[in-house]
Amino acid sequence: MQREYQKPRVGISACLLGERVRYDGGHKRDAWLVEVLGRDVEWVPVCPEVEAGFGTPREPIDLVRGADNTIRLVAVDTQHDVTKPMQRFIDRRLEELAAERLSGYVLKAGSPSCGLDDVPIHDDGRNARSAETADPADASSVNPANSESSAFLDSGLFAKALRSRFPNLPIEDERRLADPERRRRFVERVFAYHRHISATRSFENAGGPASESREGTK
């Protein structure tokens, strides 16, 4: 028998809850998420880099464009390519998250794993500054115009796969949620999504056909 969820379940980059999972052993606790939104939702914390086995503390990583135009995840100092272990984690974890019946997701801005759309893609990782080491309060830290080796901005690997797997799921990052209007719209969308999947579930439990379009069941 499947578990019933009273509150919306919302995925979140674990460091935003204050978990010490960042490359430097620190966190990025977000007071509004923890103390305000956290009263009304059930968090499902995920740290892609820790769960992929990179450990804490760890060498920071960057997104780097290779000669064949593919985007790789590369350690800043050693240039060790960690794309494959991250991809294996993503494939596994997204299937697990499909069973969590999430109603939303909050990602950590600027991270090469979790960043929604503001992660510098470097042509040369040797000179790149890790996006995760950048100060999120400093907009220039993720601005390619301020980085000689950055070509443009894109999503982190986990964030990109998450959006592709759950295209209708409300997803934001903590930096964009600092805007009150964007915050209000996100909360509305999360609760609307929660009502939708709860109604779909009730219909199915009553003997109706399973929804083919429901995310998380494909």
127 φ/ψ angles, rounded to the nearest 5 degrees: -105, 5
* Stretch in the footprint of ligand SF4 (CB under 6 A) among 36-44, 107-115, 173-181, 200-208: 107-115
Q: Binding residue for ligand SF4 (CB under 6 A) from 10, 13, 93, 122?
A: 13
Q: Which is nearer to ligand SF4, 45 or 196 (CB)?
A: 45
Q: Which is nearer to ligand SF4, 21 or 41 (CB)?
A: 21
Contact between 59 and 125 under an 8 Å Cβ cutoff? The reply is: no
Strands (DSSP E) contained in the chain are 9-13, 42-46, 61-65, 71-75, 104-107, 119-122, 150-154, 171-173
Q: Segment 30-59, which members bind ligand SF4 (CB under 6 A)?
A: 47-50
Asked if 132 is part of the footprint of ligand SF4 (rule: CB under 6 A), the reply reads yes
Q: Which is nearer to ligand SF4, 173 or 197 (CB)?
A: 173
Strand order in the sheet with 61-65: 71-75, 61-65, 119-122, 150-154
Q: Which is nearer to ligand SF4, 49 or 62 (CB)?
A: 49
* DSSP-derived 3-state class of residue 100: coil
Q: Binding residue for ligand SF4 (CB under 6 A) from 10, 17, 22, 193?
A: 22
Asked if 65 is part of the footprint of ligand SF4 (rule: CB under 6 A), the reply reads no
Cα 109 to Cα 13: distance, rounded to the nearest angstrom: 9
Measured in whole angstroms, how far is the alpha carbon of residue 169 from the centre of its chain?
A: 12
Please give the residue ranges that form the binding site for ligand SF4 (CB under 6 A). 13-15, 21-22, 47-50, 108, 111, 113-114, 132
